[in-house]
């Protein structure tokens, strides 16, 4: 039986032509902004699950369930995607650092809260944290990343200025710069040592119940007494 005859016979039995079964559409009906955010969320999932080596434009598109051209249309290239993802990270990073800061607290207590938030973010999002500080992979001229970097820098510089009883302007004095670098080096170095597992032997030698948070608090107490 020829194909045309078979089709006519089926239509005759049913009394009406068969309905054409449409294939399910890919989820490409995002609005512009929501597709961009969906791609960033997909990129972050890939980063956390597969590491930086598993994050590509095609992998992000596949994870988000959209066409392979979508990431390039929104971010241009891999540096663009990574830079926008880093910007998201820095925005959250700032929120975490400021989460337990109270304006009425003295500067030393505010600095301690910021430092704990800094390390807490690094521990909760290690791959994103490492990406944020890998300048060779990022394009810091992108507006969202530039703004997020500036905001992050102001968190530490503001509290360091408060400790000195000064307002920190764009043009820094040498003592102000030294204070910012000292505070930043302390918390960033601690976070990196923790992520790299370098502190495990030292923590194992401390009394039971004394953890990394207690060690960080002791470091801040020592810095305060030597100020």
User: What does the pLDDT read at residue 5?
Assistant: 54
Total domain count, the chain:
2
Looking at the structure, tell me whether residues 112 and 98 fall in a common domain.
yes
Kindly report the CATH number assigned to the domain that includes residue 98. Answer: 1.10.357.10
32 — alpha (psi -120 to 50), left (phi > 0) or beta? alpha
Asked if residues 81 and 72 have their Cβ atoms less than 8 Å apart, the reply is: no
Looking at the structure, tell me whether residues 126 and 92 fall in a common domain.
yes
Our CA angle for 134, 142, 173, nearest 5°, is 70
When pLDDT is cut at 50, 70 and 90, the band that residue 73 belongs to is very high
Single residue among 22, 48, 76 that ends a domain in this structure: 76
User: What does the pLDDT read at residue 224?
Assistant: 58
Question: What would the two tokens of residue 163 be?
Answer: 């400790």
Helix, strand or coil for residue 38? helix
Phi, psi angles (nearest 5°) of residue 51: 80, 175
Looking at the structure, tell me whether residues 123 and 216 fall in a common domain.
yes
pLDDT top residue among 133 and 12: 133
Looking at the structure, tell me whether residues 190 and 88 fall in a common domain.
yes
How far, in Å, CA of 161 to CA of 114, rounded? 14
User: What does the pLDDT read at residue 169?
Assistant: 87
Q: What is the pLDDT of residues 17-69, one digit of tens each?
A: 444 444 334 444 555 558 999 999 999 999 999 999 999 999 999 999 999 99
User: What does the pLDDT read at residue 212?
Assistant: 94
Residues spanned by the domain of 50: 30-76
* Region 85-92 average pLDDT: 98
The answer to whether residue 110 is domain-embedded is yes
């Amino acid at each position: 039986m020829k194909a045309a005859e078979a089709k006519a016979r089926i239509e005759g039995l049913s009394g009406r032509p068969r309905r054409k079964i449409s294939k399910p559409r890919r989820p490409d009906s995002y609005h512009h902004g929501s597709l961009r955010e969906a791609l960033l969320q997909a990129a972050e999932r890939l980063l956390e699950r597969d590491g930086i080596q598993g994050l590509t434009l095609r992998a992000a598109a596949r994870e988000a369930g959209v066409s392979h051209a979508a990431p390039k249309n929104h971010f241009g290239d891999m540096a663009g995607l990574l830079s926008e993802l880093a910007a998201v990270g820095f925005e959250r990073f700032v929120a975490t650092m400021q989460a337990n800061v109270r304006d009425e607290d003295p500067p030393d207590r505010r600095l301690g809260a910021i430092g704990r938030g800094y390390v807490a973010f690094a521990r909760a999002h290690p791959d994103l944290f490492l990406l944020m500080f890998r300048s060779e992979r990022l394009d810091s001229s992108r507006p969202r990343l530039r703004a997020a970097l500036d905001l992050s820098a102001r968190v530490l510089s503001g509290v360091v200025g408060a400790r000195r009883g000064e307002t920190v302007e764009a043009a820094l004095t040498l003592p102000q710069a030294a204070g910012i670098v000292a505070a930043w080096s302390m918390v960033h170095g601690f976070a990196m040592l923790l992520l790299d597992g370098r502190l495990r032997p030292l923590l194992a030698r401390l009394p039971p119940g004394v953890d990394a948070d207690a060690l960080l608090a002791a470091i801040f107490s020592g810095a305060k007494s030597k100020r």
